[in-house]
Amino acid sequence: MASLAQALGSTIGRKYVMAITGLIWAGFLVSHLTANLLLLASDDGAAFNTYAYSLMSLGPLLWVAEGFLAATFLIHVYNAVKITMEKRAARTSRYQVTANAGGPSRKTIASMSMIYTGGLLFVFMILHLKGFKFGTEYTTTVDGTEMRDLYRLVVETYQDPIKVGVYLVMMVVLGLHLRHAVWSAFQSLGVSNQKYLALAEKGGYAFALLVALGFFLIPLAIFLGVGQ
């Protein structure tokens, strides 16, 4: 039996880590998107702010959750960089002519650009946290409870066409990343049952489309004043 460090540092171990941390983040995206749908509730943000308030009221539990997400994110990024370095070292002399073999190949723009879409998402995450989590602290009162008015911050942010534009482009990037990521994670985890893998493949594409589209439509709706 190899040591844990050796196992996690092998090419297969790295992919297990990528798959698990990636799927954790895919799960987070679902909860994030679900919560964001509250932005469209036409209640001046009462539901959205109340939900955010309930999360913030968790105190230490929230820090644990945030720490867990941050750790899995950074582990994902670290392994992505290592994998990219390993694959570049594995072929130093490049082909003069390249083509896709077609047929059963899953090679796409999405699969070939994971490190770039991932890098863009990393930068976006920092800006996203800076703009919202660490953004302007407005306050509001819902049912007699004073709480942070995140809704106002979101609505104000998405009046700026440049910010909306950047956000929309980034959601296409997210969709591309997820298109290869989700089914690929199941393959990396060793799902060899062909029925389940086919399901993971179709499900993964649908997941990528739905999540990216959901995140895409919300700021667009706010910008266009739909559901306000």
Which residues make up the interface to another protein (CB under 8 A)? Answer: 1-2, 7, 10-16, 83, 86-87, 89-107, 111-112, 114, 180, 183-184, 187-192, 194, 197
Closest distance of CB 143 from another protein, Å: 49
Please, what is the minimum distance in Å from the beta carbon of residue 95 to another protein? 6
Smallest distance from the beta carbon of 92 to another protein, in angstroms? 6
Which of 101, 126 has the CB closer to another protein? 101
Name every residue whose Cβ is closer than 8 Å to that of residue 149 and which is 6 or more positions away in sequence. 45, 49, 138, 139, 140
| Nearest to another protein of 107, 130 (CB atom) | 107
Distance CA(187)–CA(18), nearest Å, equals: 12
90-95: long-range contacts, CB 8 A cutoff, minimum separation 24 = none
* Closer to another protein by Cβ: residue 156 or 201: 201
Counts for the chain of helices (H) and strands (E), in that order: 9, 2
Minimum distance of another protein from residue 94's CB (angstroms): 7
Minimum distance from residue 192 beta carbon to another protein (Å): 4
Q: Which is nearer to another protein, 95 or 134 (CB)?
A: 95
Identity of the residue, 50 or 187, whose beta carbon is nearer to another protein in the bound complex: 187
Residues 192, 108, 127: CA angle, nearest 5 degrees:
100
Tokens of 2: 């190899």
Q: What are phi and psi of 147, to 5 degrees?
A: -150, 170
